[in-house]
Amino acid sequence: MSIKNLSKEDIEEITTDTFFIVWKNREKLDKEKLLSSYIAGIVKNLVKEKTRKISINYDITDYENILSDLKNIDMIYEQREQIDQIKKVVEQMKKEDIDIFNLYYYSSKKIKEISKMLDISEFSVKSRLHRIRKKIKKELEKGGYSNE
């Protein structure tokens, strides 16, 4: 139990609550005992209660962050599996198709640029890209991944 962990607002709340409790129970207080001992006991209990609430909130927040991270880890793992499947499909293609795939998707070249670089028609680049995407989609669906 440490008052250091409490904010200024928490301390003010404990102070007001203490005086409210003393006021509410003024008829029950033993006139022979010092008022300061009652106040000390009330403050001690209120501080305990407040720090317990704060630690519970921290614990819940920590778990929420962990759960969120686990969801992200699952998503990243799934994406990595998809990328591995795509790599397997690409590795099985002809060299020219691999070049087209890499130029288009990794080098961000336009179809016109690829056609000039590889000295093939734009139509041929488009149709090969279409077939490559179709193969990849088919393999991903076999692996249990859908485009939904």
CATH of the domain at 125: 1.10.10.10
- For position 55, what pLDDT does the model report? 60
Same domain, 97 and 147: yes
- 70 within some domain: yes
Does some domain include residue 49?
Answer: yes
Residue 124 has pLDDT above 70, yes or no: yes
Q: Is residue 119 within 8 Å of residue 65, measured between CB atoms?
A: no
Structure tokens at 147: 């485009």
Place 43 in a pLDDT band, splitting at 50, 70 and 90.
Answer: confident
Where residue 130 falls among pLDDT bands split at 50, 70, 90? very high
Q: For 71-110, what is each residue's pLDDT tens digit?
A: 667 677 777 888 888 888 888 889 999 899 889 988 889 9
Report the candidate in 10, 1, 12, 11 with the shortest Cα–Cα distance to residue 45.
1
Kindly state whether residue 81 falls inside one of the protein's structural domains. Answer: no
Model confidence pLDDT, tens digit, residues 52-64 = 776 655 555 555 5
Residue range 7-16, pLDDT digits in tens: 888 888 888 8
Q: Is residue 83 in some structural domain?
A: no
CA 124 to CA 94: how far, in whole Å? 14
In this structure, are 68 and 126 located in the same domain?
A: no
Same domain assignment for residues 34 and 6: yes
**54 shares its domain with 101:** no
10 Å Cβ neighbour count for 25? Answer: 11
Token pair, residue 104, equals 């288009």
Domain of 111 in residue numbering reads as: 93-148
**Position 125 in a domain:** yes
How many distinct structural domains can be found in the chain? Answer: 2
In a domain, 123, yes or no: yes
Is the distance from CB of 125 to CB of 114 less than 8 angstroms? Answer: yes
